[in-house]
Amino acid sequence: MIDYKNKWNRCLDKIRSNIGENRFAVWFSKVSATDFRDHKLVLRVPSRFFMEKFEDDFYNILNSALKSEFGPGVQLTYEYFAIKDDSGSKIEIQSPQHSHLLKNKLEQSVANRAVEERGNDFDPQLNSSLNFENYCVGRSNKLPFTIAEHIANHPEKSDFNPFFLYGNVGVGKTHLIQAIGIRIKERHPRARVLFVTMRHFQNLYANATIKKEIPEFIHWFQGMDAILFDDLQELSGKTGTAEALFPIFNHLHQSNKKLIFTCDRPPMELDGIADRLIDRFKWGITEPLENPDYELRRKILEFKSKRNGLDLSEEIIDMIAQSATSSVRELEGIVMGLYTRSITENAPITVELAEKVISHLVRKVEKKSVNFDMIVENTAEFYRLNPDAIFSKSRLRDIADARQMIMYLCKKHTGLSSPAIGAKLNRKHATVLHGISAVADRLEVSKELNDTVAAIEKAMLG
């Protein structure tokens, strides 16, 4: 064995004894020394992510081990293949410095041609029916649609990256981002495009953790040209998964690969996600996808009914559009309900039949909406306080109790995040979390507190 390899093996023994067997197996078992001359040692790593990990987390211990075996003048160079098993795509980057900040022209050129050279050996998880052609556009969704189409038509541009789309359930978020992926694939068939729900991403991460294949998991996702993440709110509280998403995001963004997210709320209202990741969601553009307005609801109903071979009268379309106001999904459900009933009952679609279907799918009495101001007003009234006292710095028992009750009820009845509640009450995020927890814990043992909550809710909800 060449002498430098013996020295590298002794370095590995030192590193193993310092970081432990488990971490060593994950990060160093697949690294090898390939050359040493003129005081320069070349380490071959599986991917750029390994290099970044070494520079960020293992630099001190690695540097110490190298100096003890190779001498104080040793210089370290990393090499890896941008395209797996393709020696022509080999990249060399010299340490020491934070590797993820390096700009390497060779790497950029390899990354650019990789789209054309690599094949698709995975399912992009795209539904061909969720395309732009089947997406109805109106005043309430025109801007997000325009942005989505621009991204799909010009994936080489850095505009709107990442694209963060948020809105209520059933308003068409998934359809719109799937349409982006489909258009990119139509125009660039060899592009690696992937649609993945955040829950599925978590499951894949958990499996990689069990198999001790986290670096391989991250590297695979870093090889995508566009990733469409659906339901980002599922990431809340999943620290490990978020840590894996962070280097994936960084790598793709630096390489001008597309990052697209859907969520049920804007980034600043996400709880349980590290601030550094939330900051990155804001780098591109964040757009709300509103509930469809009346004109768009009519357009959707006309499109869906014609697609299913239904001839709905203007009266029926107008009735449905005025009754079903919450989501596209609700409108689709009514159209399908009319379709199936007209077939099974062998009856024409009449106003009476439409009313019957609507009564089954649309709640006539909506739950009374509760907002922050209502909670403050009713809580202050229950505790016989001036509402202004709630926002003061006073720590009097009654005021503090009322303030914690407001925190708890806001978390229970509104879509406000803990930071948002804190901002409205002029309190820190940690204070809000403590207040919510304090009330929740006391509710388990205090009948009096349960009665208090019930009384305030009855006043608000009727």
Q: What is the DSSP string of 441-453?
A: HHHTT-HHHHHHH
Residues 6+ apart with CB under 8 A from 159: 150, 151
Helices (H), 188-256: 198-210, 214-222, 239-254
**Looking at residue 362, what is its pLDDT?**
67
How far apart CA 224 and CA 410 sit, in angstroms, is 40
447-461 vs 397-413: helix crossing angle, rounded to 10: 60
Contact status, residue 130 vs residue 179, Cβ threshold 8 Å? yes
Is the C-alpha dihedral spanning 241, 242, 244, 245 positive or negative?
A: positive
Segments of the chain scoring below 50 in pLDDT: 1, 96-119, 365-366
Taking the C-alpha atoms of residue 274 and residue 262, their distance in angstroms, rounded to an integer, is: 18
243 vs 196, 272, 358, CA distance in Å? 17, 12, 45
pLDDT digits (tens, 9 = 90+) for 425-440: 989 888 999 999 899 8
**pTM over cut 0.75:** no
Query: Do residues 163 and 253 lie in contact, with contact meaning Cβ atoms separated by under 8 Å?
Result: no
CA neighbor of 163 nearest in space, from 149, 237, 171, 416: 149
Quick count: other Cβ atoms within 10 Å of Cβ 425? 19
Encoded amino acid at 89, one letter: S
Kind of pairing between the strands at 75-81 and 90-94: antiparallel
> Given this model, what pLDDT does residue 201 score?
93
The DSSP-derived string for 283-310 is SSEEEE-PPP-HHHHHHHHHHHHHHTT-
Which residue in this structure is represented by tokens 């089954």?
Answer: 360
What secondary structure letter does DSSP report for 268? G
Q: Are 49 and 56 in contact (CB under 8 A)?
A: no
pLDDT of residue 99: 34
Q: Do 246 and 215 form a contact (C-beta atoms < 8 A)?
A: no
What are the φ/ψ torsions at residue 276 (nearest 5 degrees)?
Answer: -65, -30
pLDDT value of residue 418: 84
Determine how β-strand 163-166 pairs with β-strand 285-288: parallel
pLDDT of residue 97: 43
Distance CA(337)–CA(343), nearest Å, equals 10
Q: What sign has the CA pseudo-torsion 405, 410, 416, 420?
A: negative
Q: Which of 126, 109, 271 is closest to 194 using CA atoms?
A: 126
The contacts of residue 321 (CB under 8 Å, 6+ apart) are 294, 297, 298, 301
Please spell the DSSP secondary structure of 107-171, one letter per residue: HHHHHHHHHHH----S-----TTSSGGG----TTTHHHHHHHHHHHH-TTS-TT-SEEEE--TTS
